[in-house]
Structure 1
Amino acid sequence: MSAEQIDHEARLVEDDHHSLKLWLRLLTCSSLVENNIRESLRQEFNTTLPRFDFMAQLQREPQGLVMGSLSKRMMVSGGNVSGIATQLVKDGLISRESLKNDRRTFVVKLTAKGLRTFNKMAARHEEWVIETIGPLGNDNIEQLTKLLGELKRTTLAAHSESNK
């Protein structure tokens, strides 16, 4: 591995267990794809991946979401969600209104401008993912998707068993 190619796998040694090697390979690949998308969003849309993810959640729920639900879906703190919401309101991409029966709870929705902006970003996001992963070919992608599905199921089952 070259000095320029320092990543999660750089910490491996020859006799590490093959499961550890796979874990670090997965982590490296995920990080590389995510970093490419982050940079592309920044360059092309002057935005961040958390802002994109926030808007993606709202695009799936046109009636809007309360801030607590957004926080859970994005797996971040309420403070992080609140900060992103403030920026998106300022940019006219979302609206934020308190519930009539609970003024402390806010519902956020994409504005028409926000939906147009998100749809442009989502189309490019899909292109970037295809450009990155597509060269593997359909057969390899299908096989890898199936194997990762099995890994997901066994991981969830193991986690479920350990929490009993």
Structure 2
Amino acid sequence: MSSGSKERLRLWLRLLKVVRGIEAELRDRLRQEYSTTLPRFDMLAALSRNPEGLKMSQLSGVLRVSGGNVTGLADRLAEEGLVERVPVPGDRRAMLLRVTEAGLVQFEEQARAHEAWIDAMLSNVSAADARDMAARLTAFAQRKTEEKTAHA
């Protein structure tokens, strides 16, 4: 084992514990206050950032879930009028999924609450520390991506 390996393992376990705890609280709050789920919120978030719509395969990539998971969720959101399927010009088989105005209104309300919940949960982290941690995690992720690309 390399010097520092135990500390890195402890760091990983602490990161995992914190992330899982925050995620569990977000899931509970979304369910209790909005009768929704985190996957529904995540799909509406992705579509709100892409108002022109996304193909199902693109959405699977953005959400990092299987196509089957996306299809079932898209079906339910479409039934509720929160998303719509739009044909892709020039490709009769492909469909774009796009957030509707009703979906956007619902998402924006939930997003405001989500931000407030995260802000409260992380209130003991200063803005400067949050920026520093985010920058470090971004740099770490970038190095991992570069390593992965170099080994491909």
Superposition TM-score, scaled by structure 2 size: 0.88
1:122: how far off? 0.5
Instruction: Give the partner amino acid of 2:48.
Output: Q
> Who is 1:123 aligned against?
112
Identify the range of structure 1 (91-100 vs 106-115) with the bigger mean alpha-carbon deviation: 91-100
Deviation (angstroms), 1:65: 1.1
Residue 153 in 1 paired to residue 138 in 2?
Answer: no
Unaligned runs of 5+ in 2: none
Q: 1:110 and 2:80 equivalent? A: no
Deviation at 1:59, TM superposition (A): 0.3
How many matched pairs? 149
Which of 49, 52, 67 in structure 1 is aligned with 2:41? 52
Q: What is the one-letter code of the residue matched to 1:41?
A: L
Deviation readout 1:100-157 (Å, 9 max, x if unpaired): 5333211111111111000001100100110111222223323322332333233334
Residue deviations 1:18-46 (CA, integer Å, cap 9, x gap): 11111111111111111111111111111
Percent identity (aligned): 36
Gaps of 5+ in 1: 1-15
| 1:82 equivalenced with 2:71 (yes/no) | yes
Residue 11 of structure 2 corresponds to 22
Q: Which among 101, 121, 142 is matched to residue 90 of structure 2?
A: 101
Letter in 2 for 1:81: V
- 1:58-69 correspondence to structure 2 within 5 Å: 58-69=47-58
In structure 2, the residue corresponding to 1:62 is in which secondary structure?
A: coil
Residue 58 of structure 1: CA displacement? 0.7
Return the structure number with greater relative CO, CA threshold 8 A, min gap 6.
2
- In 1, the alpha carbon distance for the partners of 2:9 and 2:19 equals 15
- 2:123 partner SS: helix
2:27 alignment partner in structure 1: 38
State the partner residue of 1:4.
none
**Which range moved further: 31-40 or 133-142?**
133-142
The one-letter amino acid of 1:147's match is R
